[in-house]
Structure 1
Amino acid sequence: MIEKVLSRSIRVICLGGIAFGMHAANAQDQQDQPMARVEVTGSRLASPNAESASPLQVLTAADIAASGATNLQQLLLNNPTMGTPTISRTNSAFQTSSVGVATIDLRNLGTSRTLVLVNGRRFVAGIPGESAVDLNSIPTDFIERVELFTGGASATYGSDAVAGVVNIITKKNFNGLIADAQGGKSSKGDDLKRKLALTWGTSNDDGFIMAHLGYSRQGQVWSRDRAASAIDQYSLMALDTEDPADAFTPYRPYYSSYAPQGRFTWAKGKDFTYDKSGNIIPWDTNGDNGPATGFNRSYYRSIAVPTERYLLATNGELKLGEKHRAFFEGTYASTSVGATIEPFALASTDIFKATSGWVPAGTMVNGVVVKNPYVPQYLWDRAVDNDGDGIRDYSFTRRMSEVGTRSQKVDRDTFRLATGVKGSFDLLKEWNYEVYGAFGQTKEAQNSTGQVNTLNFRYALQAIPDGNGGVMCADANARKQGCVPINIFGYNAVTPEALKYIDAPGALATKTTQKLVGGTIDGEPFAVPAGNVGVAAGFEWRKEFSSSIPDALTQAGLNAGNATPPTEGEFTVKEVFVETNVPLLKDLPFVKALDLKAAFRHGEYSTIGTANSWNGGFEWAVNSDIKFRGTRSLSTRAPNINELFQAPSQDFPSGLTDPCAGVTATSTGTYDALCRAAPGVMANINANGKFTLNQSDVQGISGYNRGNPHLGAEKGRSSTIGLVYTPRSIPVLSKVTFTADYFNIKIADAIVSTPRSYALKSCYDGSNPAMCQFITRRATNQGANSAGSLQYIDTAVSNSGGKATEGIDITASWADRVGPGRLSTHLAYTYVKDGYDIPMPGADRDPFAGEIGSAKNKANLNLAYKWGNFGVSTVFTYIGRSSLDDQFLADFDLPPHSVQVGSRTYTDLQLTYQLRKSTELYFGLNNAFDQKAPPIISGLPGDNTGTETDAGTYDPIGRRWYAGLRIKL
């Protein structure tokens, strides 16, 4: 908005409770400099007295510099208002798209409910079909400050601001050149970090122009290079004992039953494999009866994916007369990410689905069964006809090591241009205005390897003698198309020619565009006895489009991987809003000032129709030391493109427990009767005495995610009330700022995917039979898989019963001279009293407060000291004790919070030395004391595959150091 120089100090921000992590080296300079008249996040009113009626925190450029962060996500996650991100560098290796994207999540209410703005305007999404912004596309060195508004703000900014707003303000009016070079790595020698950034600017009375050019690279961290994740393992509690004391004890090794040499079955429980010498031996997964024959997937997995970024950003303003200015903002980010996971795990059910995975051991030629020459005689002699076609059958699982590891090479480009005119004009009173337009686009090109063409594989498996001592494909048409028979029996049995025939490289192309036109006007048209009444109004038109197009084989599910159909959709929205600030009382006993604030927004969506949002708030300054504030708001969120239009796409969920496990023919538990009603489950019971799962069953659950074009908007009602205490009248405390804010956010008709664990339980306990439609069990003749085991658990998006969170934010700041230097401190603490999901209307609450990823207690303490040319800053980040998901614990008849991981405190340090006025050296340690992440093992909810912990919440990498040089010219 319109900017005029004020004589007020940074105390304006502190009074609003938004001093977050002030860096000591810059604290005095910030206090001595005048502050520009700006629009504060949470309001469109531009006023010297603009302070937030809701909790608001600020992260400054000095804080960013003191962290050494190359990506803004790294620093924002230290703030206790932040939840676990949906996608980050350490939890996205198994994503089918958006690998390495950096997102944020206020209040643990979901990434889609946090609105990210740049200079008060929307930024194009970084994930196709979503609204989440990829923070990789915003250069940290170009940021002046980040404002965290943690309350419903849809009336001011529109959809998605249910949990709050993160407004990134870029630098302007800068003169000179800043060069920043940095390098570092972890104490294990990996996670290599390189950064080079150049920021240039020039300004005068006619305007300014700035440009930034940056490069950064963060290296890979392999699972095999950390003791906690080097070997495949499984929670002993989840696997076998059901003893809560064993929850964090790994059964190790717990190798995959999909092995490179293959596992071959001719009847239930009758299977064999090969040793390194090519001898046939009984199958042994983990070495219980000799050397292990399974496969260690962890050797090929990643804790952190390598990310390389090129960034270009520019902005500027040009004076158009005394009261008008043109402005522009441009951003281009090119991000390359690589992800590598273990070779593909192929099962005969992936190829011969129509026959439940039974593979013919021979081929009918002229009415005579001809044995496949590659099928060993040992298997041929034991195999029987399982599917009634007159040919002996077998089934198999095999790790396709000859094809190589599955890898993704992702190139992601984000472009955004915003431009407009702003200024002021006189119409009875002075009015400020801004008219703007913006276009943003994110494109992703992904190429992948490691998959196989299941159609070609089927032809290659049906081999016969060629009459000349060789082997050929049985199907004549397949031979004409280059079919090469394949041998799958034993290590390295697949020839290069056969490999070429079955290889199926993959591709994915995505595109997201955002078009935006808007305008605002604000002013103070008249006065009342207590002061000027502020009014703002505006409009916004927005069009969002997204497409995600995989290659043809992937769309058809013919590459044995996740079947992923294309998703494409768009919507438009037209909105108008109005906002006001009315001073009611002033300079009275116990009322230094009392202001009321209100806003209303009306939107018309092409998808859901109309949606209205509003908020109201007050600020009551009792005196110069004490101020109370509060808000009540209704925020709306319209469904995004994926939620509306996503076609069924395959997923492989984890942390699920089959409620039918252990059921017998006569047991009388909660789920037993309905479990026995499933034919496959009953067949399993008849064969084993009880419903029994093998390793393939535990590791092989799949499912499909799908959207819902009939969704409506969700409505979030939030309330906050707080205290700001700045005791200037007490000399010893005159430089202290203290804030305390209570928050309560309840979301009705929340747009969520039906939790798979809820679908399982509510289906088999009879509480919601409709959930049974999401569950598919294997039939009675499933080869190597147990009859009746879970094959698919699907999930669909719906307007659920709701979500909610409630708690308290506390901040305290202080800065003053101590000894020969200056000390500054800042504490931010969040206590989450309650938080829950209601998965379906009428369902019971599913609490998440206090569970892993949603700790009830989180805090961040910054200490910084500046003495002459030396500076030191320390950041302590605390994550309180957290428990396993209560739904998971209920499977073992355990009460909520009965199985917990301990708290963690991470310490980050940075030392600086001013070599000369224009040159600064710095050295830093992240996780300085090498705090280990808690063991959230495979099989437990919250585990991120490959890390053996919740890598979005805890640090799975360990101690890291960096050093850099910053030059200002």
Structure 2
Amino acid sequence: MSTAVLALGATPAAAQDAPPQGEQATTLDRIEVTGSRIKRADLETSSPVFVIDRQNIENSGAATVGEFLQRTPAIAGAATNPQVNNGGGAGAATVDLRGLGVNRSLVLVDGKRWIGTVSNANGAVDINSIPMTLIERVEVLKDGASAIYGSDAIGGVVNFILRRDFQGLEASAYYGISSRGDAGTERYDATFGMTGDKGNVVLGVSYDKEDSVSAADRAYSSQPYQLYAGEHGIGGTSRILTGRYVVPRSAATGVNLSDPNCGSGANVVLTRIDGRPGTSTSDFRCFDNLNDVYNFQADGNLNLTPQERTAMFVSGNYQLSENVEAFVLGSWLKTESSFFIAPLPFDGRAAVDNVPISGDSIYNPFGVDITDARLRLRDFIPTRTTRFETDTYQITAGLRGNFGDSSWSWDASYGYGRTPQSQSVRGYLYSPGLTDALGPSMIDPATGNPICVRTPGDPSTAIAGCLPVNFLGPPPDPNSPAGQAQLAALNLINPTITNTNENDLKVFNANITGDLFELPAGMVSLAGGVERREESASATSDFLTLIPPGETVCLITQEACTFGDIAGSFDVNEIYLEALVPLLADVPFAEKLNVSLGTRYSDYSNFGGTTNSKIGLEWKPFSDLLVRATYADVFRAPTIGDLYAPTVPSANTYTDPCNGYTGQPTPDPRACAGVPTDGSFQQSNNQVTSFQVADPNLQPEEGDVFTYGFVYSPGWLEGFSITADYWRVKLEQFITNLPENVMLNQCFNFGRYCDTFIRDDAGDVAQMTNVIGNFGRLQSSGLDVGLRYLFAETGWGRFAWNLDASYIAEYNVRLLADDPDSDVGAFPGIPQSTGLAGTFVDNASSGFGNLARWRALNDISWSLGNFSASLTTRYVHHVYEAPDVADVTEPGYVAKRRVPSFTQTDLQIGYQFEELNNSSIQIGVRNLTDRQPPLIYSGFNASTDMRTYDAIGRYYWMRWTAKF
């Protein structure tokens, strides 16, 4: 597929690129534009398209596709990238146009679907799996295109156009490193092309490797910063190194119970005094909810995950006859990556890990079972790690041709994609073994060594291979025999967990396009086609992670548990028609007036049929001005992950509406069941294990997208153009999980969703169940603006200026749209009437992310002879983050916190060596001023937004390209 290039900047042709073989001028004049299947001569159509050419990609200094694409102003929200430790550990990078979600942005390669490569079967494409050295340009269609491409094209389409007819050998080497000496990156590419009388073949290989960046090595991420009651501070979690233990007040005989932190209840919450052995109750004190916290950021978390990729690809075409050509594209990529997160938090509560510390343990000075013990196991077992190995296979082969000398052309192709992935997980404990190790124990009278026993005090019931573990004392000393024995015993119950998953895509499509008949204003053109697509996904979990029927825990720590495996598929048959009808031409106030029409019928095996149509208008009142508009029906089919994913736990944040509960009636008694009624209750943790559940009965999202705007290229100012396009998206049947706050508040206020959570004996929310559904509606609108000016050449060289900006005017989401009161607690601090535009909401369930009102990309480039340079500035407007609902009743409450804007400037200088076959060298600095990301206290990673801002800081890079 060939597409039109809108001038983002100069796009010089490579010296080795040969002209297409056997093509006539008429073929070159009629090309296919992204967003339409009709071949036409016009480069500008009714649909707005943003283009990134190869020169811009190289000038960015990016080593991966995701790095350069993230700068696009139309990309917002919460797309994954390798800076996101928990979510980007597989090395993946996804696209989120307009902040509408990665599942609502369609990714194509040469106009055809690419295999979804994100491991949770959500259909999103890892754009880092697309061979970077083959990319000629990237076209971003900022319009709804379900009538042309089917499901997912709601926010728009990202179409990667690959190089064709390449001849010769091109090799490049890239190296980059941050100013702090980390994030080292190396990349090597080699591309070989050969052209003959009847065809062309391109072969290539590439390798890149990127080192990690530790959260501890950046000031903004070295601490878990927080904002509470309007005060800035350093937070953390209640799973601390000295533990948090709930024991009866009567058993805390050696504790200073006059401490205000001890409260007045029947139970008291204790922690070991740092430096004490924990062998006596006097070694403990009452737990301080505000100050006894653990800095999880400094212990293992990453700002950039390590990753390594090896790729091979082939692209070719061969002229079978005068009118028929065969073509093929094959790609293989192997990605090896890892992520590291803070050491395991042990939580012995029945609703979580269900591992008590026995009152008969030789290490328990209280002499009672401790069923609520929480401890950070930093010094007991290694940091939690997950290593990924992902293979991505994609092959597309087909035929294309013309019907004689007519305007009609056709193509038919079959594509197959497959992404097997394996995960190796470490840092979790085998629960039955840990239960034995924390259970009854004694000193063996025969050997004098500690042993685990089934019956307290009876050595004959000793458990073979078990050594008692001390979770109430200091960590084991690796230099002592006893400490070494405990560490060895823990290592035996620290298994390697292996999970596998795979996505598969099979696509057959056939298209035909040409002219039907001529009207006074021009030819009526038609395109039509059929497509059959089959998608499937499977996942197999380690038996250690499977939760038995009727249970809530598995054989390891709960956060790694799952209720089963993925095994799902669907197929869809589609047919479409598209027409271009010229209404007026070369008359006063209408140099051109065209209407484009399109419709597509899709029949899904899981929910049935849907029809989506589109109409576009192109009006040129005079030669310098194009006015355009589109209206499109759009839809998104639920993904296999939405439909069939296994139930998995997620540690999600929440604010308990029962904090300070005084016994007032609630619509359902389960709302605050077990919570004290004297007003003293405050939740003991801000995270809850929430089981995320798929729903095979989901219906598709449906909506419409409306755009209108203009392109003005004044004849009186050669080289200058301006574009402006308004857009509006409406979606119904929005597919999402409800935020945990919503369900808790719904129960508290209206008695709904009370069966989604359970509380423990202390009244804390211990566990939640969160089923995905078609909840509510979304409406968003905004404006895209682009300015281009290619200056006339002077003795000082030639300059080009490009500015692109995107503005989000509104972004409104109403969950549970059938309930007028459904917004209670939906998005803390953000009234539904205000909406989400200009805010940051990063919730594991909803995850709308960064919806800054303005994003812009400004590029100034210069060339003189063999020298070139560019200065690129990326701007993200300020956003507001909302504090927790708990802040509403606290002194100093602020409705929203303003997060400063972020500006990043990149510099690149290049030189071309004509005497060396136009080989070139480029050196550059990304983030020239070493701008650090702003603090966002509710950030998903590192107290900022790792999905949006540069997390590395100043970065130096160099690329050498040799051509033969």
Q: TM-score, normalised by structure 1?
A: 0.87
Match of 2:429 in 1: 452
The amino acid that maps onto 2:878 is R
Which residue among 794, 808, 811 is the counterpart of 2:783? 808
Pairing 1:932-951 to 2, within 5 Å after superposition: 932-937=932-937, 940=938, 943-945=939-941, 947-951=942-946
Report the alpha carbon displacement of residue 350 of structure 1 after superposing the two structures with TM: 5.9
Residues 546-555 or 755-764, more deviating: 755-764
Q: Aligned pair in 2 of structure 1 residues 737, 854: CA closer, same or farther (>3 Å)?
A: same
Q: Aligned pair in 2 of structure 1 residues 25, 175: CA closer, same or farther (>3 Å)?
A: closer
Residue deviations 1:367-408, cap 9 Å, x none? xxxxx33333xx23xx4xxxxxxxx55642222232211111
Secondary structure, aligned partner of 2:675:
helix
Secondary structure, aligned partner of 1:349:
coil
Secondary structure, aligned partner of 2:741:
helix
CA distance in 2, matches of 1:77, 1:169: 17
Tell whether 2:515 aligns with 1:515.
Answer: no
CA distance in 2, matches of 1:265, 1:759: 28
CA distance in 2, matches of 1:701, 1:799: 23
Report the alpha carbon displacement of residue 260 of structure 1 after superposing the two structures with TM: 4.0
CA distance in 2, matches of 1:626, 1:52: 12
Secondary structure, aligned partner of 1:190:
coil
Secondary structure, aligned partner of 1:117:
strand
Report the alpha carbon displacement of residue 680 of structure 1 after superposing the two structures with TM: 4.3
Query: Are the counterparts in 2 of residues 351 and 457 from structure 1 also a CA contact under 8 Å?
Result: no
Residues 890-899 or 117-126, more deviating: 890-899
Match of 1:597 in 2: 596
Match of 2:797 in 1: 821
Tell whether 2:399 aligns with 1:421.
Answer: yes
Q: Aligned pair in 2 of structure 1 residues 860, 28: CA closer, same or farther (>3 Å)?
A: farther
Which residue among 934, 949, 965 is the counterpart of 2:960? 965
Query: Are the counterparts in 2 of residues 441 and 511 from structure 1 also a CA contact under 8 Å?
Result: yes
Report the alpha carbon displacement of residue 88 of structure 1 after superposing the two structures with TM: 0.9
Q: Aligned pair in 2 of structure 1 residues 395, 749: CA closer, same or farther (>3 Å)?
A: closer
Q: Aligned pair in 2 of structure 1 residues 749, 393: CA closer, same or farther (>3 Å)?
A: closer
Which residue among 92, 103, 109 is the counterpart of 2:100? 109
Residues 886-895 or 605-614, more deviating: 886-895
Match of 1:727 in 2: 714
Residues 574-583 or 525-534, more deviating: 525-534
Pairing 1:514-913 to 2, within 5 Å after superposition: 514-556=505-547, 557-560=554-557, 561-564=559-562, 565-654=564-653, 656-665=654-663, 673=666, 678=671, 680=673, 682-683=675-676, 685-686=677-678, 689-694=679-684, 697-698=685-686, 700-728=687-715, 730=716, 733-766=717-750, 769-779=751-761, 787-816=762-791, 817-842=793-818, 843-844=822-823, 845=832, 847-852=835-840, 853-885=850-882, 891=888, 898-913=896-911
Q: Aligned pair in 2 of structure 1 residues 928, 40: CA closer, same or farther (>3 Å)?
A: same
Report the alpha carbon displacement of residue 481 of structure 1 after superposing the two structures with TM: 5.9
Residue deviations 1:39-75, cap 9 Å, x none? 1110011122253312111111111111121112211
The amino acid that maps onto 2:469 is I
Unaligned runs of 5+ in 1: 4-9, 363-371, 384-391, 667-671, 780-786
Report the alpha carbon displacement of residue 332 of structure 1 after superposing the two structures with TM: 0.5
Secondary structure, aligned partner of 1:19:
coil
Match of 2:496 in 1: 505
The amino acid that maps onto 1:770 is R
Secondary structure, aligned partner of 1:109:
coil
The amino acid that maps onto 2:561 is A
Match of 2:358 in 1: 360
CA distance in 2, matches of 1:904, 1:57: 22
Secondary structure, aligned partner of 1:300:
coil
Q: Aligned pair in 2 of structure 1 residues 895, 119: CA closer, same or farther (>3 Å)?
A: farther
Secondary structure, aligned partner of 1:701:
strand
Query: Are the counterparts in 1 of residues 154 and 635 from structure 2 also a CA contact under 8 Å?
Result: yes
Q: Percent identity?
A: 28
Match of 2:344 in 1: 344
Q: Aligned pair in 2 of structure 1 residues 117, 891: CA closer, same or farther (>3 Å)?
A: farther
Which residue among 22, 41, 62 is the counterpart of 1:48? 41
Match of 2:922 in 1: 922
Tell whether 2:46 aligns with 1:69.
Answer: no
Q: Aligned pair in 2 of structure 1 residues 848, 896: CA closer, same or farther (>3 Å)?
A: farther
Query: Are the counterparts in 2 of residues 98 and 127 from structure 1 also a CA contact under 8 Å?
Result: no
Query: Are the counterparts in 2 of residues 678 and 788 from structure 1 also a CA contact under 8 Å?
Result: no
The amino acid that maps onto 2:299 is Y
Unaligned runs of 5+ in 2: 249-266, 477-482, 548-553, 824-831, 841-849
Report the alpha carbon displacement of residue 487 of structure 1 after superposing the two structures with TM: 3.0
Match of 1:88 in 2: 81
Residues 116-125 or 950-959, more deviating: 950-959
Report the alpha carbon displacement of residue 351 of structure 1 after superposing the two structures with TM: 9.0
Query: Are the counterparts in 1 of residues 688 and 766 from structure 2 also a CA contact under 8 Å?
Result: yes
The amino acid that maps onto 1:773 is D
Match of 1:365 in 2: none
Which residue among 949, 953, 956 is the counterpart of 1:954? 949
Residue deviations 1:89-112, cap 9 Å, x none? 111x224x8632110100101100
The amino acid that maps onto 1:551 is D
Query: Are the counterparts in 1 of residues 61 and 926 from structure 2 also a CA contact under 8 Å?
Result: no
Query: Are the counterparts in 2 of residues 26 and 62 from structure 1 also a CA contact under 8 Å?
Result: no
Report the alpha carbon displacement of residue 297 of structure 1 after superposing the two structures with TM: 4.5
Match of 1:125 in 2: 116
Match of 1:389 in 2: none
Q: TM-score, normalised by structure 2?
A: 0.87
Query: Are the counterparts in 2 of residues 680 and 778 from structure 1 also a CA contact under 8 Å?
Result: no
Match of 1:180 in 2: 172
The amino acid that maps onto 1:303 is N
Report the alpha carbon displacement of residue 855 of structure 1 after superposing the two structures with TM: 0.6
Tell whether 2:169 aligns with 1:190.
Answer: no
Residue deviations 1:525-556, cap 9 Å, x none? 21111111110110000110101222011122
CA distance in 2, matches of 1:741, 1:519: 32
Pairing 1:164-179 to 2, within 5 Å after superposition: 164-179=156-171
Match of 1:783 in 2: none
The amino acid that maps onto 2:329 is E
Report the alpha carbon displacement of residue 135 of structure 1 after superposing the two structures with TM: 1.2
Residue deviations 1:878-933, cap 9 Å, x none? 11111114885995699997421121111111111223452211111111111121
Provide the alpha-carbon RMSD of the alignment: 2.8
Match of 1:163 in 2: 155
CA distance in 2, matches of 1:408, 1:478: 37
CA distance in 1, matches of 2:16, 2:356: 75
Residue deviations 1:225-249, cap 9 Å, x none? 01122134432x2xxxx22xx3xx2
CA distance in 1, matches of 2:14, 2:744: 55
Q: Aligned pair in 2 of structure 1 residues 818, 899: CA closer, same or farther (>3 Å)?
A: farther
The amino acid that maps onto 2:153 is A
Q: Aligned pair in 2 of structure 1 residues 935, 586: CA closer, same or farther (>3 Å)?
A: same
Residues 114-123 or 133-142, more deviating: 133-142
Q: Aligned pair in 2 of structure 1 residues 77, 727: CA closer, same or farther (>3 Å)?
A: same
Q: Aligned pair in 2 of structure 1 residues 890, 347: CA closer, same or farther (>3 Å)?
A: closer
CA distance in 1, matches of 2:350, 2:493: 14
Match of 1:224 in 2: 216
Match of 1:408 in 2: 386
CA distance in 1, matches of 2:13, 2:288: 58
Secondary structure, aligned partner of 1:86:
coil
Query: Are the counterparts in 2 of residues 42 and 52 from structure 1 also a CA contact under 8 Å?
Result: no
CA distance in 2, matches of 1:403, 1:920: 50
